[in-house]
Amino acid sequence: MKKELLMASALVSTLGAASVAQAVTATMAGSMKVGVEFESPGGSAVDTNNVKDQSNFNISLSETTDAGTTISTSFEIVDEGTVAADDDNAIKLTFTDGSALELLNAGNAAGTHAVAVPGASGEQGIGGTSSNNAPTGVDFGATSTALGVEWHSAADFLADGLKLSASYSTDSGAAATATAAVDSSYGVGATYVTSAGDTTLTIGGGFASSSTAKSGTALTNDVNGFNVGVSAVTGDLTVGIGYGDGDTWADEDGGTTSQTDGSVTVAGIKYVTGDITLAVGVTSGEGKDSNTVGTAGSTDDAHDSTSASVTYAVASGVSAVLGYTTVDQQDEGASDESSGGSAWYVGATMSF
């Protein structure tokens, strides 16, 4: 409780330093995606056609105090069949030296510095149900609670092109249940940007760890892990690769919690030629999961996917997308055709 009170006191005292204003500065952005997806699952599953009608609306708010500190936050409304508001956004304080501090819903610094790897556009995917717990994102170990803070250094910290972040979150105080939950976490991350001839290199990564409990009892393997990645941009060509390794967990039906020791590699390439953007991305994840606390898994889950897309800029803010994805799944050492297969997507996106 003492930690929560100190965090609240720091937030109130900082915001109280701002001059009284009638309204903050607001900017908005958003997009509308309309298309159709054609899924062809493996095994005996039936092919399906789905209309994808998705929209999002984002509002960013910011204001600067007399002392030069910028206070900012944002929220997003997403409509993917059911309207939902994304309120998972921190209050961010950016200081005159370029450093920043995020308060509440701050996230984990290891995820902040995961390098963006090019990937295919489109809304294609396979919707099969599986107990496969192989990770598919390099920052799967970067978790946190809402009661968190994250500090960001200014650019060129200690060396040209270097930026660091550190985060910490504490117990949310929620009642212990049969669902596993994060009690506290910390993370550190760094990004380094440099040039080599005509190529701009971005190298980044981080380490994260958290304590996790179910019904008040700590799990044998808490969520933790590291990620590292690199991207290179040369003119209109972007290539990237990332790797993540660590432990995670997933709550499944019947109150079952699976603990997974896994790793994942993602790689991609993107090329822009005139109004056309070509992109290809691959993901390969594997993990050993166990439903028995204290007993390591002995057989592999695996997720392997390849996606490609062609995006054409029809007009300012308007693009047409053709995308394709193929997925292979392995559950407990055996091929899981019902949750694999292929999918096509054709649609348009209008952004503002």
pLDDT digits (tens, 9 = 90+) for 279-288: 999 999 998 8
Q: What is the mean pLDDT of residues 1-9?
A: 46
Q: Is residue 79 part of a domain?
A: no
Q: What is the mean pLDDT of residues 293-306?
A: 76
Q: What are phi and psi of 6, to 5 degrees?
A: -65, -40
Tell me the CATH number at 188.
2.40.160
In terms of pLDDT, which residue wins out, 251 or 190?
A: 190
pLDDT at 268 over 90: yes
Distance between CA atoms of residues 63 and 12, nearest Å: 16
Distance between CA atoms of residues 204 and 115, nearest Å: 6
Q: Quick one: CA torsion of 31, 235, 281, 232, rounded to 10 degrees?
A: -110
Amino acid at position 254, single letter: G
Mean pLDDT of all residues in the chain? 84
Distance between CA atoms of residues 301 and 77, nearest Å: 35
Task: Give the count of domains, the chain.
Answer: 1
Q: Is residue 7 part of a domain?
A: no
Distance between CA atoms of residues 110 and 328, nearest Å: 28
Closest CA to 227 of 298, 108, 140: 140
Contacts (Cβ under 8 Å, ≥6 apart) of 2: none
pLDDT at 256 over 80: no
Q: Is residue 200 part of a domain?
A: yes
Q: What percent of the chain has pLDDT over 70?
A: 81
Q: Is residue 223 part of a domain?
A: yes
Q: What are phi and psi of 330, to 5 degrees?
A: -130, 125
Q: Is residue 63 part of a domain?
A: no
Q: Is residue 327 part of a domain?
A: yes
Contacts (Cβ under 8 Å, ≥6 apart) of 157: 163, 164
Residue 176's domain spans which residues? Answer: 31-56+108-147+155-351
Q: Is residue 18 part of a domain?
A: no
Q: Is residue 86 part of a domain?
A: no
